[in-house]
Chain A
Amino acid sequence: MEATEEERLLLTQRLKAAVHYTVGCLCQDVAEDKDVQFTKQTIAAISEITFRQCDNFAKDLEMFARHAKRSTVTTEDVKLLARRSNSLLKYITQKSEELASSNMEQKEKKKKKSSAAKGGKIPGEQEAAVNESEDSNMA
């Protein structure tokens, strides 16, 4: 029990560190862009906020999925989550549409290949599998 707690703590710290690093990088880019400087405390605060907000997102997503009586979190849940901010919602909708269209294309290609050359199924399957795995990751 304590071990798992410690592990959890360790994992959390690692995660926080990762977030902190990413936030630092982003802030650096913005500073270069806008010619503004970021203090370390600012970056630390931003990273802490981001971490907690991610926690909130996760809980909300789970709640949305349960609300729709599903056990999988889908893009619909994400879109619902993003409703808070109009611009974010638009962006996410755009991205999801792009993703959906690329998925469709992938599926069509897959079908063509499978129908065209059944012999080349294995490389096709592999390719499709790779594509699908990519898609799932992205989703």
Chain B
Amino acid sequence: MLLMSRLLCNDGRYKFGTMCLCDFSLQNISGSGKDKNSGRSTLVKQRPAVFPDLDNDTPRNMLKRIIQTQPQVSPLALRISKHEETEGPVWELPAKRISNMGEMQLPDLVPEDASIATFRMTKKRRKISVSEFERAADERLPQNQARSTLDSSTALARSFSMSLGTVIPPDTVEKRGLLRRPKNRRAIDIEAFEGGVEQNMLKRKAQKYLVDSQTASEIQTTVLTSDVEIMLSNTELFVQPQFDDQSQNKLSVLEPQLLNSKTSAQRSKISDAAQEEARLVGTDTRRTPRNSENLILDHEHAGRMTPLSPGTPANQQEDKHSHSQQSNPMKQLSVSEEVAVGTAEHRANAGYSEDLEKTLREKGESQITAAQDARAEPEEGGIAEGSVEHPGSPKAEHEITRSVGGGSLDRHSHTSSSEKSGMKLLKEAVEQADELEDQAIKIELDGTEEGPTEDEAEDPESEGDSIKTPTFVRAVAYKPLLSTPHPAKPAAPKLSTPRPAKPAAARSPQQPLQANRVPKGSGVSRRKTSEPEIASSLIKKIFSHYVKMPVARDAFKIVQKCSEKYFMQLSNDLEAYIHHAGRKTVEMEDLEVLMRRQGLVTDKMPLHVLIERYFPLEYRKLLIPVAASGNSVIPSK
């Protein structure tokens, strides 16, 4: 019956309900079985050969014809046996199955038909000599070894077949009606699959950069190959510096550690990036050390990597060798850069480079946020937001985490400094790449990095810390910047335009910053020369929080300008007040004067009340002395 229905479905000619046909088919099959087997009993009906008469033919006749002509599969027999079974037939069944497997091929339809047949059978309670039926059916059945496994659907039969070494689909149900189409399970090409996933992810990224990165990552989180899990099992927060001149093993070790460091930071993007990278391992056709390299960046190129694999492996190998002399972090960076570059070269597509940047930024950003978490900086939230907003910052963070992984543990002091070093690393990578495209891309990345670095350079701390960049990083970054970045600069603005999240106001200082930085290409951070800005992401965040409405990008620009002017005026006033008092340092009273001038502090509203009202406890403790037990005052005077 199931067979009939199945055949019908396959043929597509008839759309009869399977159930109604069961009886017919069963009878027919049994009849046919009986015909061939002398030992057949019960329902026997010789079916006369009838020419197809489509108009007047009854469905029954048509089915008969089908049965006679089509490959005959009779799972019915098996099902019947199961339902009306005694142990004998059940035992017989698997044995028969096995024997038949060698002889005949059972069609895919067997299980479904059988299930339906079984269902039917249970209803009708047909009493048939099951074993005989089976035998007859099996003899007639076309040989399909793959399908034979699906025949045994009852638990018992299943257990037998399992014990006997046959593969039974785990989702076989007692009621064959619910059984799905037997699946042709071929070994999935992991690389192809992951490549497809990467492509998918890339497409998604290309569409929506910021928001969907998280969603994509969520989707990607589910895709975890065993290698990924293995690699992510190491939960080291920071990768210990390994200064050996490279071995690919080191690379591979560092990469997973980098990934681990990422995952250890509790950022979804980090985990996503890590997973993406981990997935890249599978996608990479090259060996695992390669994969480790590709892990960093390849997830972006996953889609492109597979087609470019013949080209890129050579490229990456070259890159690898070229970097062999460098320190590991630099190597990683440069390798990743090279990889990115290589793919970018091949593609020569701005869109892909964008994706690369985005992914890099994401990673970098996630890494930076991880680093920030490690340092528990107060500006974390703002910076994290900034990193979200700024595509460049993730790249910087990316670089920074690399350097961190490379072993500059000292550099966890400050995000800005790390960004700076990251940027330096990036610049170095840029130098190594000789392609204009690559440089353009990297300059772009530099620009984006600089943007966020500049944005987040508001603190005087950052400036101070930037000087503390570890010497080795500085030494590495000391490689003279190629003159090529200059010609690439004009390309940078064009390339940077596609980046949606970059506010124009924040972008404009980047290029002059680039101009400032390039000639001064020493490793010493030149943050002070460039004009520091408040992170536009911070402004956006605060503004949108208070306005409780979606805000247009142009509005954000204007808000940023206003806030800039406001803070300029504020600082000028403070300076005047300090000068008025004949001092050189800003004090509380200066700020109180300022607030009084602004009207925030009045005779009715003293400063302390404002502090109490608007500050969290930590800040309040700093400003207002608190008396504790034991005659101790916090903060101690």
Contact = CB atoms under 8 A, between A and B. Distances in A.
Contacts of A83: 573, 576
Contacts of B582: 68
B211 interface: no
Q: Which has the most chain A C-beta neighbours within 10 Å: B573, B576, B596?
A: B596
Interface stretch (A33-41, A59-67, A109-117): A59-67
Given A80-B576, A83-B573, A83-B576, A69 B581 contact: yes
A127 interface: no
B260 to A, nearest CB: 55
B383 to A, nearest CB: 34
B91 interface: no
A77 B603 CA distance: 20
B597 interface: yes
Interface string B561-586: 00000000000010011001110000
A105 interface: no
Nearest to B589: A67
Interface in A59-99: 59-60, 63-64, 67-69, 76-77, 80, 83
B573 A67 contact: no
Chain A binding surface SS class: helix
B580 A67 contact: yes
B573 A64 contact: no
Interface string A30-62: 000000000000000000000000000001100
A80 B575 CA distance: 11
A67 B593 contact: yes
A123 B282 CA distance: 106
B577 A80 contact: yes
A63 B581 CA distance: 11
Nearest to A60: B597
A106 B599 CA distance: 40
Contacts of A67: 577, 580-581, 589-590, 593
B593 A64 contact: yes
B37 to A, nearest CB: 110
Interface string B584-616: 000001100100110000010000000000000
Contacts of A60: 596-597
Interface residues of B, number: 12
B576 A64 contact: no
A68 B593 contact: no
Interface residues of A, number: 11
Nearest to B603: A59
B580 A68 contact: yes
Q: Which has the most chain B C-beta neighbours within 10 Å: A60, A69, A83?
A: A83
A83 B575 CA distance: 12
Contacts of A76: 580
Contacts of A59: 596, 603
A52 to B, nearest CB: 12
Interface string B259-297: 000000000000000000000000000000000000000
B573 to A, nearest CB: 7
B580 A63 contact: no
Contacts of B589: 67
A80 B580 CA distance: 8
A73 to B, nearest CB: 12
Contacts of A63: 593, 596
A68 B577 CA distance: 9
A60 B589 CA distance: 14
Nearest to A77: B580
Contacts of B573: 83
A69 B581 CA distance: 8
B581 to A, nearest CB: 5
A64 B589 CA distance: 11
A69 B582 CA distance: 10
Contacts of A64: 580, 593
B581 A68 contact: yes
Contacts of A69: 581
A5 to B, nearest CB: 18
Contacts of B593: 63-64, 67
Contacts of A77: 580
A59 B590 CA distance: 16
Given A60-B597, A67-B580, 4 more contacts: A60-B596, A68-B581, A80-B576, A80-B577
25 contacts: A59-B596, A59-B603, A60-B596, A60-B597, A63-B593, A63-B596, A64-B580, A64-B593, A67-B577, A67-B580, A67-B581, A67-B589, A67-B590, A67-B593, A68-B580, A68-B581, A68-B582, A69-B581, A76-B580, A77-B580, A80-B576, A80-B577, A80-B580, A83-B573, A83-B576
Interface of B: 573, 576-577, 580-582, 589-590, 593, 596-597, 603
Please name the 9 residue pairs, one residue from A and one from B, whose CB atoms are nearest each other, closest first. A67-B593, A68-B581, A67-B581, A80-B580, A68-B580, A63-B596, A63-B593, A80-B576, A83-B576
